[in-house]
Amino acid sequence: MIRLAIVGTGGMANMHAQSFAAIEGVQVVACCDIDESRVTAFAAKHGIPGAFVGLEQLLAEADFSAASVVTPDSTHAELSLQLLKAGKHVLCEKPLATTIEDADTMAREAQQTGLINMVNFSYRNSSAWQRACEVIANGDLGRIYHFHAHYLQSWLTSVEWGDWKTSPGWLWRLSRKHGSHGALGDIGVHLLDFATGPVGAAKSLYCHLKTFEKAEGGRIGDYVLDANDTALITLECANGAVGTLSITRWATGHQNSLVLSVHGDRGALRLDLDKSYELMEICRVAPDGRTEPWQRIYCGKTPNIYQRFIESIRTGKQDQPDFARGAEVQALLHACSISSGQHSRVQL
Ligand SMILES: NC(=O)c1ccc[n+]([C@@H]2O[C@H](COP(=O)([O-])OP(=O)(O)OC[C@H]3O[C@@H](n4cnc5c(N)ncnc54)[C@H](O)[C@@H]3O)[C@@H](O)[C@H]2O)c1
């Protein structure tokens, strides 16, 4: 039996509690939050026996070997490092950290402890994405020339996900002081992993970040609304492929749309998670140069990241994405911020 604790009991922690509870041989034994009423309600809702206020109390009083960190981005580094120091395996939410230095420290410490460490790039739960990585790595699309990807949300223009103007759970995501890197750090981080994972490491990038006016005086209460809500990125990869990434919270008509198209000289593929996590569309160039019709390939199920984290603990074999991958993507986020500030292309 693997005894697991959840650190942070806000919105996303529900997904962690449900996903871990569904894995045989795992028991969520404890949770903690800095908000006592929230952690008490969360423990009751998910039937978790131990509820603690703050990580210190959790570490002092609960018996567990693994933890997931599901707190606001600015706290990931400190909490994960404390957990690693206490000898716990850690699944940390994305982005791994809010600075490149913190992300590198986390990757280094995690490697030195030999404990299992993973970052929750959850769109890797798409079996079609896993297959796309294999297809490209096998050379089935030939040389990759071009790719484009987008991650579109609309919670700033609609209420389907709740009212951001009155909810602290949304407001911290709009405020740099509250540790947010805006749309780039929140969803751009997923897209950067989703695109560069299969296509290849980035060599240089250009990024334009935009923060639109959202409230009178640019603030709501304590929240200064200064984090970006749109990011436009052009990337050049070490293998020569070039691509564009488009990320926004203003995409009216799209709740949570993630798309990747990749084009090589022997074929192309596309993934559209609105259609299915399991569907890869692919077309190939025939030996006579004709482009064959697009085919739909259903790729079945793949273990989700919660299952892979637990499997890594059981086998002692570190699966991806680990903290080192989280730090690589953090370097891309950092380069995007520099590029946007300097209005210039950044080499990686
Ligand atoms: N992988 C994904 O697809 C995905 C989806 C949603 C959110 N997330 C990530 O999950 C994290 C949490 O997001 P959320 O939507 O649940 O936020 P949230 O604001 O709803 O919840 C965060 C919780 O953490 C608690 N907290 C803050 N500081 C703490 C500390 N030091 N110790 C313990 N608890 C603390 C807060 O009180 C709150 O209850 C973020 O990093 C976010 O980027 C990831």
Report d(CA 70, CA 72) in Å as an integer: 7
pLDDT, tens digit, for every residue of 214-254?
Answer: 999 999 999 999 999 999 999 999 999 999 999 999 999 99
Atom of ligand 1 nearest to the CA of 32: 33
Mind giving me the DSSP string for 119-153? E--GGGG-HHHHHHHHHHHTTTT-SEEEEEEEEEE
**Fold classified for 2-122:** Rossmann fold (3.40.50)
Q: Options 3.30.360.10, 2.50.20.10, 3.20.20.80, 3.40.50.2000; which CATH number does 127-303+320-347 get?
A: 3.30.360.10
Q: Which residues of the chain have pLDDT under 70?
A: none
| Domains of the chain by residue range | 2-122, 127-303+320-347
Main-chain dihedrals φ then ψ at residue 244, nearest 5 degrees: -120, 145
**Cα 91 to ligand 1 centroid, rounded to whole Å:** 13
Quote the ligand 1 centre to 125 CA distance (angstroms).
20
Out of 83, 93, 306, give the residue to mutate to test ligand 1, the one with the largest number of ligand atoms within 8 Å of its CB.
Answer: 93
Say if ligand 1 is within 6 A of residue 78 CB.
no
Maximum CA extent, the chain: 69
Instruction: State whether the beta carbon of 8 lies less than 6 angstroms from ligand 1.
Output: yes
Q: Which atom of ligand 1 is nearest to the CA of 9?
A: 39
- pTM of the predicted protein model: 0.95
CB 248 within 8 A of CB 255: no
The CA R_g of the chain, rounded to the nearest whole Å, is: 21
Quick one: which atom of ligand 1 is closest to the CA of 35? 37
Ligand 1 atom with least separation from CA of 13? 16
**Residues 260, 262: Cα–Cα separation, whole Å:** 7
Token duo for residue 68: 């997931």
3-class secondary structure per residue, 34-51: CCHHHHHHHHHHHCCCEE
The reply to whether ligand 1 has any atom less than 6 angstroms from the CB of 7 is yes
Alpha carbon of residue 248 to chain centroid: 15
Return d(Cα 145, Cα 134) in angstroms, integer.
Answer: 17
Of the candidates 147, 155, 237, the residue with the CA atom closest to the CA atom of residue 200: 237
Residue of 12, 78, 172, 193 to mutate, ligand 1, most atoms within 8 A of C-beta: 12
CA of 10 to the centre of ligand 1 (A): 6
Residue whose CA lies nearest to ligand 1 atom number 5? 12
Hey, do 2-122 and 127-303+320-347 end up sharing a CATH topology, with the first three levels equal?
no
Look at residue 170 in the predicted model and tell me its pLDDT.
Answer: 92
pLDDT (0 to 100) of residue 188? 98
Residue 89: the pLDDT is 98
- Any ligand 1 atom below 6 A from CB of 10: yes
Q: Give DSSP secondary structure letters for 222-289.
A: TEE--S-SEEEEEEEETTS-EEEEEEES--TT-SEEEEEEEEESSEEEEEETTT-SSEEEEEEB-TTS
pLDDT at 72: 92
Q: What is the pLDDT of residue 161?
A: 87
